[in-house]
Amino acid sequence: MGVDFFTGVPDSLLNDFCLYMVKNIPDGQHVMAANEGNAIGIAAGHYMATGHIPVVYMQNSGIGNATNPLLSLTHDCVYGIPMVLVIGWRGDPAISDHAQHKKQGELTPVLMKDMDIPYEILDAEDTVVEKFAWAVNKAKEISSPVALIAKKAILTEKIKKQVYPESPLMNREEAVSAVVEVLGSDAVYLGTTGRATREVHEQLKAHGVGEGHEFQNVGSMGHVSSVGLGIALAKPEQKVVVFDGDAAAVMHLGALATNCRYKAGNMVHIVLNNGVNESVGGQPSAGYVVNLTAIAEACGYRTPGHPVENKEELQQIVREQGSGEMPLFIDVHVRQGIRSDMPKLNIDHKAQKVALMENLMGKK
């Protein structure tokens, strides 16, 4: 169809689509962006340089990041830049899904309509090619974005076949356990979006850290350290431990600068860095490509000066450097994978919020 450029953020419902691009589309023609707004900008630049219709892929949770450039850059009332959006439909009202996807799922078609983006729903494999052809032609016709909203199991493998490479590194759960062993109930702990929420929750239970000491950031990818900053500034005597992800941290990297500008010295910001977007299929992230420690230092964090790769060093750093004027940043290199018997995260979100508030506000 003449499409030769793809950019976006990997999504579990686009798993097979994304993995195909990683394996078959050369770098430069396929760009994994930090966030969905970045991807819209990259696609706009490609179109203006080539005249070719680009494809931007994302989960519908990323529409929020994309909305500003879609309305103030690509919309017909501004520059009128055509592209095809491929959007994984989490929270599809016809299918049961997690709470954080419900409202986004209900609003996905509504948002497309309200932003003047024509769309079709990918709901059957035998019409996918036909609808892609429609989208490319429609984008050319109207010189503006067009969307394809993909239902579950249309652009994803029916069974995800993730193979985790052998590695001597800790896994995420072991790294979380190492920190909780040191700090116990003296800290509150925040878990980043994805599998880490399950692992942080289970390790807090395993170490006897009671209710009121955790917040699992099940949605709003990339914002967990900002939530941590809000807590840390309001409660300067409270140790706040943020377990972030590599792709999540990169998604909103500006948060690192803000965390240091306001000197949240009681916050420990730990990136559980496995170098991939594991929860959505294992596509490579920027985690091992960029020097997160150097970026954090440039923002003002205290750091050990290098990535940490073993339990002993991690615990030593947390013990010896856990307090200071500026927040502490630790890039922990971990191996990919999650244990096969890891329970699904089963929490009452509002009850968890209330318990945390009661603890932080001194009611317990």
Distance CA 351, CA 364 (A): 15
Torsion of CA 15, 16, 18, 20, to 10 degrees: 160
Distance CA 34, CA 41 (A): 11
DSSP 207-253: TT--TTSEEE--SSTT-HHHHHHHHHHH-TTSEEEEEEEHHHHHHTT
pLDDT at 281: 83
- Residuewise pLDDT in 10s, the chain (364 residues): 999 999 999 999 999 999 999 999 999 999 999 999 999 999 999 999 999 999 999 999 999 999 999 999 999 999 999 999 999 999 999 998 988 999 999 999 999 999 999 999 999 999 999 999 999 999 999 999 999 999 999 998 776 667 888 999 999 999 999 999 999 999 999 999 999 999 999 999 999 998 899 999 999 999 999 999 999 999 999 999 999 999 999 999 999 999 999 999 999 999 999 999 998 888 999 999 999 999 999 999 999 999 999 999 999 999 998 788 999 999 999 999 999 999 999 999 999 999 999 999 995 4
* Ordered structural domains, the chain, with CATH: 6-150 (3.40.50.970), 172-360 (3.40.50.970)
The CA R_g of the chain, rounded to the nearest whole Å, is 21
User: Own/partner pairs for 36-40, CB < 8 Å, 24+ apart?
Assistant: 36/8, 36/9, 36/62, 36/63, 36/65, 36/66, 37/65, 37/66, 37/67, 37/68, 37/69, 38/65, 39/7, 39/8, 39/9, 39/66, 40/66, 40/69, 40/70, 40/73, 40/74, 40/83
Q: What is the pTM of this model?
A: 0.93
Structure tokens that stand for 52 in this block: 């070719």
Distance CA 257, CA 136 (A): 39
**Residue in the block written with tokens 């309200």:** 114
